Amino acid sequence: MYAAVLFVGINNCSTVQPVVAIERTVFYRERAAGMYSALPYALAQVICELPYVFVQTTYYTLIVYAMVSFEWVAKKFLWFFFISFFSFLYFTYYGMMTVSITPNQQVAAIFAAAFYALFNLFSGFFIPRPSSFISK
C-alpha cells in the first residue's frame, strides 16, 4: 500500500506539471487582456483537480481495499479513503506548485524529483517501539 500510494502520488505530480505549464501561457495572455486576476485563477486550478482525484481515489480505494482483504467496516474504509485522497491531493498540488514557482517545466520536474526522496522518507513505515510489559 505504501509503495502504491507513493507511486500514484509521484505519477500525479509528474502528470500535472505539463498541463499547468501549458496553462501558464494562457494565464499570462488572459491576465494581460484584463480578463481575471491571479486569485480566482489559482482557486479554479485547485478546485478543478478535486473531482479527478476523487474518482481516482475511489477506484484505487475499492481495488486495493478488496485486494488486501481488509475488514469491510465503513469507518475503516472511509479512513483509508480519506488518507489516500489527501495523499494524492498533496502530490498533485505539489506538482502544480513546482511549475508555478519555477521558470519552466523542466526545472519543475528536477525540483520535484529532488523532493520525492523526502516524501519517501517521511511517509514511510511506522515502526512502533516494543511494549514495556509482557502479557502472561
pLDDT digits (tens, 9 = 90+) for 90-128: 999 999 999 999 999 999 999 999 888 888 877 666 666
CA-closest candidate to residue 4, choices 88, 102, 104:
88
Q: Between 129 and 86, name the one with better pLDDT.
A: 86
pLDDT at 82 exceeding the cut of 60 = yes
CB atoms within 10 A of CB 18: 14
Q: How crowded is the C-beta side of 71, counted as CA atoms within 13 Å? A: 5
For 38-75, what is each residue's pLDDT tens digit?
888 889 999 999 999 999 999 999 999 999 989 999 99
Q: What is the dihedral of CA 5, 96, 40, 82, to 10 degrees?
A: 10
According to the model, what pLDDT value does residue 5 have? 86
Q: What is the pTM of this model?
A: 0.83
